[in-house]
């Protein structure tokens, strides 16, 4: 009988190869399981018990985080990983805890970080001038709002984007391909940026801070160009949010929220928005409806409190 460490390795390989999960997901599952095994001092599958899981949950709930406790969603991620591991063991006829004995913690409704239309406009207008960096940043912000791309998807784009069309395909979570669409302003911003670049680097969005520029070499060479990371893009968005005088936290994902709410407020149906965002489950998309249902606000305004004087 293999110990849990070897079984975990088999499970993670199964997730990556047979289930097609992303490397990031596999890394997260590995981390969550290691945390449980370490806490419960589990060596064999038979040592995973309801009692050890319950004590682990209490530990997670009390663990110090930014707000004093770990968020319920994060706690659930640990339990989801453990449950998936137990289902894998059952499939391999390995005796352990029944995965159905693990229930997830109830979570409250998800709060959306939203910015106003005026704040969004100030944010996108932030990059000024025609320097390569300003053109890159303007293209990035326009593209985020036009397409609703995840920051990882934005960073994976290459310079060979076909701007003769108003759409392109992107490979998102779970290796799923979807079509996203370019607004006229996004297309122009990307075209202006690419025209100024003139190099043969592969990545669409690259860093320039380390490039030594001379009067006749404004671009550097392709070997100088490193693809921007999601963390770099987050820092750039934060800088322009501060410049625009937006006091709340603004990230690329907040721009994705703005993309979704803008569509719904202007009459788009939920299924279409689900497809444009690349959500596997429509329940994920439904989080936007409570902030965009203008019809209900209008009904309330038109019909509520008419008998009061």
- CATH code of the domain in which 126 resides: 1.10.443.10
Residue whose C-alpha is closest to residue 241's, from 133, 151, 141: 141
Residues 169 and 42 in one domain: no
Last residue of one domain, picked from the residues 67, 101, 135: 101
Whether 111 is covered by a domain: the verdict is: no
Across 19-45, b (16+ Cβ under 10 Å) vs e yields eebeeebbebbbebbebbbeebebeeb
Contacts by 42-49, CB closer than 8 A, 24 or more apart: 42/4, 43/3, 43/4, 44/1, 44/3, 44/4, 45/1, 45/4, 45/7, 45/89, 45/94, 45/95, 45/96, 46/95, 46/96, 47/4, 48/4, 48/82, 48/86, 48/96, 48/97, 49/97
Q: Within this chain, do residues 72 and 8 fall inside the same structural domain, yes or no?
A: yes
Spatial contact of 45 and 94, defined as CB atoms under 8 Å apart: yes
Which two structure tokens, joined as six digits, stand for 66? 């930014």
Same domain (yes/no): 55, 163: no
State the distance between the two ends of the chain, measured CA to CA, in whole angstroms: 78
Cα(309)–Cα(196) distance, integer angstroms = 64
Per-residue pLDDT of the chain (309 residues; tens, 9 = 90+): 688 889 999 999 998 888 877 788 889 999 999 999 999 998 888 889 999 999 998 888 777 554 556 677 788 889 899 999 999 999 999 888 898 888 877 655 555 667 788 888 899 999 998 899 999 999 999 999 988 898 989 998 988 888 888 888 888 777 788 888 888 899 999 999 999 887 788 888 998 764 444 433 444 444 457 888 899 999 999 999 999 898 888 889 888 888 888 888 777 888 888 888 888 878 777 777 766 566 666 777 777 766 665
Q: How many domains does the chain have?
A: 2
179 beta partners: 169
Would residue 295 show up in a list of annotated catalytic residues for this protein?
no
Q: Which of 227, 279, 300, 304 is catalytic?
A: 279
Contact call for residues 145 and 258 (beta carbons, < 8 A): yes
pTM: 0.65
Annotation says 253 is catalytic:
yes
**Same domain, residue pair 62 and 143:** no
172, β-bridge pairs: none
Task: Enter the tokens of residue 72.
Answer: 């319920």
Residue 96 lies inside a defined structural domain of this protein: yes
**Do 155 and 62 share a structural domain?**
no
Q: What CATH number is given to the structural domain containing 85?
A: 1.10.150.130
Domain termination residue (choose one: 101, 132, 164): 101
Catalytic-residue membership of 6: no
> Is 290 considered catalytic here?
no
Query: Is there a single domain that holds both residue 213 and residue 186?
Result: yes
Shared domain check, 63 and 125: no
Q: Is residue 287 located within the same domain as residue 157?
A: yes
Task: Point out the catalytic residue in the list 173, 178, 196, 227.
Answer: 173
Within-domain flag for 244: yes
Q: What residues have CB less than 8 Å from 42, skipping those under 6 apart?
A: 4, 36, 48, 52
Q: Is 166 in the same domain as 257? A: yes
In a domain, 224, yes or no: yes
305 within domain boundaries: no
Q: Quick check: is 61 in a domain?
A: yes
Task: Identify the domain boundary among 77, 101, 125.
Answer: 101
Does residue 207 sit within a domain?
Answer: yes
Please say whether the beta carbons of 7 and 89 come within 8 A.
Answer: yes
d(CA 176, CA 290): 27
The pLDDT, as a whole number, for residue 84 is: 92
Judge if 142 and 94 occupy the same domain: no
The answer to whether residue 40 sits within a structural domain is: yes
Expressed as residue numbers, the domain containing 96 is 4-101
pLDDT at 116: 80
Structure tokens at 118: 């005026």
The reported pLDDT for the residue numbered 221 is 45
Catalytic residue, candidates 8, 138, 150, 197: 150
Whether the Cβ atoms of residue 151 and residue 141 lie closer than 8 Å to each other: no
Q: Are residues 124 and 94 in the same domain?
A: no
Span 29-57, pLDDT tens digits: 999 999 999 999 988 888 899 999 999 98
Specify whether 231 is catalytic. Answer: no
């Amino acid at each position: 009988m293999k110990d849990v460490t070897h079984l975990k390795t088999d499970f993670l390989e199964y997730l990556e190869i047979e289930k097609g999960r992303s490397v990031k997901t596999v890394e997260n599952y590995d981390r969550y399981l290691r945390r449980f095994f370490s806490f419960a001092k589990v060596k064999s599958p038979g040592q995973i018990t309801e009692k050890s899981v319950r004590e682990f949950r209490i530990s997670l709930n009390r663990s110090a985080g930014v707000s004093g406790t770990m968020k319920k969603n994060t706690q659930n991620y640990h339990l989801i990983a453990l449950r998936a591991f137990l289902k894998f063991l059952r499939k391999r006829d390995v005796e352990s805890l029944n995965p159905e004995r693990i229930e997830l913690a109830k979570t409250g409704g998800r709060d959306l970080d939203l910015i106003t239309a005026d704040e969004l406009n100030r944010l996108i207008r932030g990059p000024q001038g025609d320097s390569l960096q300003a053109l890159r940043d303007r293209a990035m912000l326009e593209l985020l709002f036009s397409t609703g791309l995840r920051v990882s998807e934005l960073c994976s784009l290459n310079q060979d984007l076909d701007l003769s069309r108003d759409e392109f395909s992107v490979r998102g979570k779970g290796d799923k391909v979807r079509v996203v669409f370019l607004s006229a302003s996004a297309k122009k911003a990307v075209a202006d940026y690419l025209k100024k670049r003139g190099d043969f680097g592969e990545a669409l969005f690259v860093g320039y801070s380390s490039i030594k520029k001379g009067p006749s070499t404004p671009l550097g060479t392709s070997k100088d160009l490193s693809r921007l990371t999601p963390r770099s893009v987050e820092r750039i968005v934060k800088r322009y949010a501060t410049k625009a005088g937006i006091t709340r936290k603004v990230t690329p994902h907040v721009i994705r929220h703005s993309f979704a709410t803008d569509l719904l407020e202007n009459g788009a149906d939920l299924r279409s928005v689900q497809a444009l965002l690349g959500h596997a489950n429509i329940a994920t998309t439904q989080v936007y409806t409570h902030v965009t249902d203008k019809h209900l606000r209008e009904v309330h305004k038109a019909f509520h409190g008419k008998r009061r004087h």
